[in-house]
Amino acid sequence: MLLNILNTLSNADRWLFEKINGQWTNDFFDTLFPFAREGNHWLPLYLFLLVFITLNFKNGWWWALFATCTVALTDMTGTYLFKKNFERPRPCNDPEFFDHVRLILDRCGGGFSFISNHAANHFGMTAFIYLTLKPHFRSPWFRLIFLWPALIAYSQVYVGVHYPTDVICGSLWGILVGSLTAMFFNKRYGIVIFDNQLKA
């Protein structure tokens, strides 16, 4: 019974992968998604955010430290808790499946596939940002920041280096870790705009 369920999930996972990677494609996406998944392209945004928070918010340095720890936790647990134990090959490295993969990148990349550290890291960071800063950004539009890690997670499947379940589980794990670090930060420190602190 359990084996049948796992086989069904695996087949559905591969079916959805082939749809995203091989059918729901166009030339624009072939340019966009490889660019979007590159962490170095997001580095200026991260640096700007860290500098902005530390200069404008009380406990900003603690916020920057917790944000960094969030990414470190998602990355290390993604590798040592999941990848090293599940040892799932990437679709582009799977000898039983790689001929179904339209690899857009120059190389497949090393390491295992489950979970996606890209998804975990970016969703963890975004969850932390959202939960710690939402008192200062009360607009419902602020939730749209989750489109950013969703784009990166989808890109991992589109370019051929992860299965959909890799990025879904990575996203959920990142949200969990980011929520826990945000909860601890909010309880221990919280974040206050310097001007508001002076007026209090």
For residue 162, what pLDDT is reported? 97
- Cα separations in angstroms, 52 against 44, 56, 107: 12, 6, 36
For residue 192, what pLDDT is reported? 64
Whether the upstream peptide bond of residue 115 has omega within 30° of 0, thus cis, is yes
For residue 193, what pLDDT is reported? 58
Q: CA 120, CA 116: separation in Å to the nearest integer? A: 6
pLDDT surpasses 60 at 197: no
Question: Domain residue spans in the chain?
Answer: 26-199
> What pLDDT digit, counting tens, does each position of 96-131 carry?
898 999 999 988 988 899 999 999 999 999 999 999
| Mean pLDDT computed over 159-181 | 97
3-state secondary structure of 149: helix
> What pLDDT digit, counting tens, does each position of 35-80 carry?
998 877 888 888 888 888 888 888 889 999 999 999 999 999 999 9
Q: What is the mean pLDDT of the chain?
A: 90
> What pLDDT digit, counting tens, does each position of 1-15 carry?
777 887 888 899 999
User: How much of the chain exceeds pLDDT 90, in percent?
Assistant: 66
Q: Quick one: which of 3, 133, 21 has its CA closest to 66?
A: 133
User: Does the reported pTM lie above 0.75?
Assistant: yes
